Amino acid sequence: MTEKKREDVSKKLVGLSNSRLKYPNLGRIDENDEFRCSVDRITLMAPLSVEAWEKHFFKWLHLPFIETAGAGLQVLDYSNCDVDDFGNPHPHVAPEQVAYMEMTQFQHDKVRIDFNPNHGMNSEGGLWLKDLLSKLPRKTFSRADIAIDILHHPEIYKYGVWNFGTSKRIFLDKGGKMETTYWGKSSSKKQIRLYNKKVEQEKRHGRIVNLDEWWRLEMQLRGDKVAQYPQLVKEMLEHFYIPDYKSSLLKDNEQNKLLRMMIDQSYYGSLPKTSKQRLREIVKKAKPENSLSILMAKKFVEDLPSLENELYSYLGRFHIEKATVNDEEYKKLEGHQKLLVHF
Q: 11 exposed, middle or buried (CB, 10 Å; 0-12, 13-18, 19+)?
A: exposed
- Name the burial class of residue 165, with classes exposed (0-12), middle (13-18) and buried (19+) by CB atoms within 10 angstroms of its CB: exposed
Per DSSP, 94 falls in state P
Q: pLDDT by residue (tens digit) across 232-258?
A: 888 889 999 999 999 999 999 999 999
CA dihedral sign, ordered 327, 332, 337, 338? positive
Name the least confident of 29-33, 34-38, 220-224, 318-322. Answer: 29-33
Residue from 266, 247, 264 nearest 255 by CA: 247
Question: How much of the chain exceeds pLDDT 90, in percent?
Answer: 48
Alpha-carbon torsion 275, 172, 177, 36, what sign?
A: negative
pLDDT of the residue at 228: 79
Please, what is the end-to-end C-alpha distance for the chain in angstroms? 47
pLDDT of residue 7: 47
* H or E segment to which residue 12 belongs: helix 3-18
Q: pLDDT for 73-112, tens place per residue?
A: 999 999 888 887 778 888 888 899 999 999 998 788 999 9
Please state, in angstroms and rounded to a whole number, the distance separating the CA atoms of residues 243 and 249: 12
DSSP E strands, the chain: 35-47, 66-69, 72-77, 96-103, 110-115, 140-151, 160-161, 168-172, 178-183, 192-196, 214-222, 240-243, 288-289
pTM of the predicted protein model: 0.79
pLDDT at residue number 279: 94
Instruction: For 107, list phi and psi in degrees, rounded to 5.
Output: -125, 125
Predicted confidence (pLDDT) at residue 332 exceeds the cutoff of 80: no
Q: What's the whole-number average pLDDT of the chain?
A: 82
> How do residues 176-218 score in pLDDT, each as one tens digit?
889 999 998 776 667 899 999 998 888 777 766 667 889 999 9
Name the range with the highest mean pLDDT among 1-10, 180-189, 222-231. 180-189
Distance CA 49, CA 241 (A): 45
Q: Looking at residues 36-58, what average pLDDT do you find? A: 93
